[in-house]
Structure 1
Amino acid sequence: MSIVLVINSGSSSLKYELIDVEAEQTLASGLIERIGERTGRATHTVPVTATPSVERTEAPSESTRELPIPDHTAAFQVMLEAFADHGPSIELNPPVAVGHRVVHGGKRFFEPTVVTDLVKINIEDLAELAPLHNPANLQGIEAAQTMFPDVPHVAVFDTAFHQTLPPAAYTYAIDADVAEKYRVRRYGFHGTSHKYVSQRAAEFIGRPLAEVKQLVLHLGNGASITAVDGGRSVETSMGLTPLEGLVMGSRSGDVDPAVLFHLHRKADMSFDELDDLLNKRSGVLGLSGTRDMRDVLERRAEGDAAASLAFDVYVHRIKGYVGAYFAQLGRLDVISFTAGVGENAAPVRAAALAGLERLGIEIDEERNAERSGEIRKISTDASEVAVLVVPTDEELEIARETLAAIEA
């Protein structure tokens, strides 16, 4: 009885994964897109599995439907139809709980939380800190409760892992009364990924998590770095929102706040336009015209100047954070790369850590160039710091935390 349904609800999308937590096995997953548009798209995937409780399949199967999906409740109905038509049977493999990814928990939620009416009120209240995410997350919770009324629902917050940040790390140096009134502080994000990867890294090097000082670089379309000391987040690059920190697919990361004042005064840009600029038209996209690091690497290899600059800015920012967080930790045992770019872009990994041999960090070129879906070491045997590539599994971590919350 360890099956959990994990839900990641966006404003116009719904991702789901049915997971056997004890076996650490995905039984099925899916993505429902374009919710609320004229025609939606639903994809359901059943992987190869040898779990006795589910139907055996010889090869992964994927089914796709296009149909109107007016809202999230309809999306859940489409999901249930996919399970009924393509398996595995929800009736034979009923989830004991539903785990929901919720982006922003503010400072109120520091652990996985069973959803109650009060919890939903708080998620809605925190929407002002994550207006693009929390309302959609709440929609998913309410729709799921309609479809699965007899099992507990658990909210797992992206920010929760970072509740261990010390005051010196989460406090911004602005007027204290203003900060308190408007809840301005560093919260951090990608918490489930940073937690999962830091645990896997400690296991891989064969040391107790409580003894390990490490950096986790979550490099995807969104990107963040976290310093983890003994399993606790002590420094992280994202702040009040997911905009601060590293250069990302379309987000600027760190920028002088006075740039906004300058553009407002000189270019007559409104606050909404500035928000759009930094979140949707900056980062790798703003520098190169594409947000996809694969395209950047291909164009860079062909001598494209814009792509080369985007790459250089991207890795320059990462290297600066690695050095800063090394200083905060005082010692470093492990650096882990994860997420789409971190797991697949060998040139990014190599350039981000190049020249850091004096810090005990040395990449093995051949190991770094290897492609694998498994956790692996890419540093040399002489490197004092183990450098790893660790495939993240946020859904499994959400499922684990959901199960732990209902068993507590």
Structure 2
Amino acid sequence: MEINSSILKLRVQNISPGGAFSSEVCEGPGDLIGMKAFVRYVAPGELVHAKVIRKKKTYLDALLIDLVEASPERISPRCHLFGHCGGCDLQHLPISSQRHYKKKMIEDFLAIQGGSSEKVDVGLIDATLPDYSYRRRVTFHIDKKSTIGYYQQNSHDIIQTLQCPIATKPLNNAISLLHELPFTKPGSIHSISIEEAAEVVCLVFRMNEPVLPFPDHSIASLEEMNYGLQIEYNNQIVYRSAKLPPFVALAHFSQVNEMANEAMVSYVCSLVESREVCDLYAGSGNFALPLARKGCKVEAVELDQLLVGVGKRLAKQEGLDKLVRFHQQKCEDFAPNLPSGYTVILDPPREGAYHVIKYCRPERSPRIIYVSCSLPELIRDLEILRRSGYKLLTTTFIDMFPQTHHVETVNLLEAS
């Protein structure tokens, strides 16, 4: 419910899964005192003034007005678009504090909403991972006035983005180049993905109309500068330059943080004790191929046809096609027939693995490694698995997305 824009004084507590920080109202209208409020771009312990923008039954959404007592941890954001762009929301905190508060958020959710009386200590994979210049894929939008950039916070308005400090240097070079291209009809472009793949910077244009985004000579110029180019219309590739790497599914799912992903894959592989594995939501083999290199037999299940094709080609190229078998189907269709005794790896999208885990039983799948990128859905799924006879042994946090509230966790479960 929208209400009048009351000005409140809030004491900030900790970050929540959506990126806002939970706070308690300590001054304001009497009926709001003690109520929980959520506000962005603050830090635990701070006392702030905030304007109420929305009232729910049990909490408020508020907009930061000013700092009454600033946290000594607070630093100056590196990006001048911080607070306006819809991407980063933690640049005002040093990376050590970001990781501390995100780790605490995971621990709090496991304890409070996980329904377990036993505290789970959350580990951290490699605290030395870089905090900037890590992102190997970004997606921009362009409007009819040729404004290129990210969406603004909570909006589809485009904010001009000339550089992005969390993107790698090659991507930032490509971002600068985008602003110089002579677009023929900017309104015909739905989105532009820039991606580092196999040491080639690739530009993927998704078109709303069957037209080229810029003149032919610009295409030739881009390719002369060693950029790979792909143009799509109506979910079909209408142009693909020869410079594009052959074993890459551009603009399809892959982890954007290469160093963090390498650390995570190594850790997940270390948790696999059996020689037989079912890798559900397998992508192009992020876990399946490294496990096969260790000698594991892997059933890899993935719906995306292009990712399955890439995975098969990579497996064959490495001589692993006898160990890795890819299945192009929905994971929930494969799950009722999970082979007995296999370790199960789950790496679902943000909506979680709800439709798969109802088929998991300890007597058939004695060990589950659940990789999650969404905390609320993880908590929901862990509770279902607990009722099915599993016990959560460890939860480990990997900071895949520094400067943002997003968290990636690796969760190990066995029969209780």
Query: Normalising by the residue count of structure 2, what TM-score does the alignment of the two structures yield?
Result: 0.31
Choose between structure 1 and 2: higher strand proportion. Answer: 2
Choose between structure 1 and 2: higher helix proportion. Answer: 1
- RCO greater where, 1 or 2, for CA within 8 Å and sep 6 or more? 1
Instruction: Please tell me whether Structure 1 or Structure 2 has the larger radius of gyration of its CA atoms.
Output: 2
